[in-house]
Amino acid sequence: MEEIMKKRTGDIFIATNPLRVIAFMSAYPEREFLSNEIQKPLKMSRMGVYLALRVLAKEKLILRSKKGKFFIYTVNRSYPVVSQFKVLRHVVELFPLVERLRVFSKKIVLYGSVSRGEDTSDSDMDLFILTAEPEAVAKKIPQQWAGRKVQAVVKTPVDWAEFKDKEPVFYEEVGRGIVLWETQS
């Protein structure tokens, strides 16, 4: 879990304690947390975590329930602000990779659960890359990025034109994705 909080481009979005807490919790939306399970990986004071959780619960970004004598916290997955926050963080995390790939690419699209903010900690980063040089792009794609497996689909413009008829569901899924970069033509 600590891996998610390492220094990276997206650090501008975790400057305050509430942002640090929601960033951490939203990376694991399927989990329930005790306050000390948030405190330790973030290296925050008990009071800092408590105050952040209070603010986040008041804003309905997290849900708080009591089990026995403990309070359990979960990210509010149904709140649109949470999913949009996750999407923004993922897009910012991907910028260095996009910079590396854009030299060889005509278009780079983030699609799938990560692009909708519906991802869990086990979700892949799904990228679609349109390029005239698939071999060069394939060499630049890492297996992991920002702690997630990268699942890249690399197509030439000719292959992509044929894909519309062969794989209409996938074609539409990519069309609903977030364009991270596209050549000006």
pLDDT of residue 184: 85
Q: At residue 51, does pLDDT exceed 90?
A: yes
Single out the residue of 108, 117, 60 nearest to residue 86, CA to CA: 117
Distance CA 77, CA 63 (A): 9
How many helices (H) and strands (E) the chain has is answered by 8, 7
Q: Which residues of 157-173 are buried (b: 16+ CB within 10 A; e: fewer)?
A: eeebeebeeeeeeeeeb
Q: At residue 7, does pLDDT exceed 50?
A: no
> Mean pLDDT over residues 39-52, rounded?
96
3-state secondary structure (DSSP) of residue 16: coil
Distance CA 75, CA 28 (A): 8
**Higher pLDDT pick, 14 / 37:** 37
Helix, strand and coil content of the chain, in percent to the nearest 5, comes to 50, 25, 30
Q: What is the mean pLDDT of the chain?
A: 91
User: Within a 10 A sphere around the Cβ of 68, how many other Cβ atoms?
Assistant: 6
Of 13-17, 79-83, 96-100, the poorest mean pLDDT is in 13-17
Using CA atoms, how far residue 132 sits from 42, 83, 106, 135, 138, in Å, is 43, 34, 8, 9, 12
Q: What is the pTM (predicted TM-score) of this model?
A: 0.84
pLDDT digits over 83-104, tens only? 999 999 999 999 999 999 999 9
Domains of the chain: residue spans and CATH: 6-78 (1.10.10.10), 95-182 (3.30.460.10)
Q: Alpha helix (H) ranges present in the chain?
A: 17-26, 35-42, 46-58, 80-101, 113-116, 134-140, 157-166, 168-175
Owner of token pair 């891996």: 3
**Higher pLDDT pick, 163 / 9:** 163
> Mean pLDDT over residues 143-171, rounded?
93
User: Within a 10 A sphere around the Cβ of 153, how many other Cβ atoms?
Assistant: 16
Distance CA 77, CA 115 (A): 15
Using CA atoms, how far residue 128 sits from 83, 106, 131, in Å, is 21, 11, 10
pLDDT of residue 12: 55
